[in-house]
Structure 1
């Protein structure tokens, strides 16, 4: 959690510095400012523009085989934090097309899922039924169930709309940034 707040603070400081730099460097010739603007955008790195929090239900039961007597079932739920955004390190001069004094078109890479975090304190066992002659679920088995849940969440992320939200928020960020530099019309497309 500390790393999350640290990265968020660094991103905020970088954003403020970038905006101050962009405001201070206004000149009439936009083409000359473009390399510095591109460098500032690249140095932003991975721009996380969307964060979702999900609750995932995890259930499992052992298959009964001839040598296992009794059932073993578990029902857990956990909270997962998803972060998505744009990797601005992939942006180069070729991604910017300037037309006239006030129009710029930016081509960005599509949004991607940066991280899925499941805090240990947000994992709870809601139900557990262990047969008399069976061992409880081990820590390794629970970790394996959580890994499966993470894979299911990763597959589900696209249908949740987090990537679309990340792209929409990235457009707003890039448009605002380039308008601060002096471009009146900013068009952002994704490839």
Structure 2
């Protein structure tokens, strides 16, 4: 009888320990991610070719033409310092984060990547001055900045930031990470 009772108690003990383990939510500071600050997650290099011809005038004999190339490095990302109280919520082992909109974090036109590919001056014309070349480079920069709207750099930055934050919070112990991208409010121009 004692043997049967012992087996019965052992089987109850074994069966009761076979339940699903409940995980406690992580106890870390969920706003610790703000300490990262500016998170640049996407970089594009955009090239531009500038072709200019000086318009002929009746008093100018000959013509001037120039072909220049330049490149700009553009970085985009999310400023995690802009996360406000209430943008992160926890429900058990699920964390939801509302990210601020992605923005351009860096725009660099390296002078080493700017080249005069061709310069043609004929007749009694003078060559292009450094001031003129600088003015054309400023026009190229404005053109690249306007062409950025046609790229997906901001979308890539948001996606990469979401991937980073998902990994970050999974390392903290959260099982499910939901990232919501906040859209930038329309600005009156």
TM-score of the two chains, using structure 2 as the length reference: 0.76
Gaps of 5+ in 2: 1-23, 183-189
CA contact (8 A) 1:157 1:163 kept: no
Residue of structure 2 aligned with 1:62, choices 26, 48, 54: 54
Larger radius of gyration: 2
- The residue aligned with 1:181 is 172
Is structure 2 residue 93 aligned with structure 1 residue 98? Answer: no
> How do residues 1-191 of structure 1 correspond to structure 2 at under 5 angstroms?
30=26, 33-34=28-29, 37-38=30-31, 40-99=32-91, 101-191=92-182
CA contact (8 A) 2:25 2:174 kept: no
Gaps of 5+ in 1: 1-27
Equivalent residues, number: 160
Map Cα deviations across residues 62-110 of structure 1 (whole Å, 9 max, x no partner): 22334433222111112221111111121122211222x2111111122
TM-score of the two chains, using structure 1 as the length reference: 0.75
Q: Which has the higher helix share?
A: 1
SS of the equivalent of 1:56 reads strand
Q: Say what the alpha-carbon RMSD is for the aligned residues.
A: 2.0
Q: Deviating runs (4+, > 6 A) in structure 1?
A: none
Distance 1:155 1:133 in 2: 37
Distance 2:61 2:36 in 1: 57
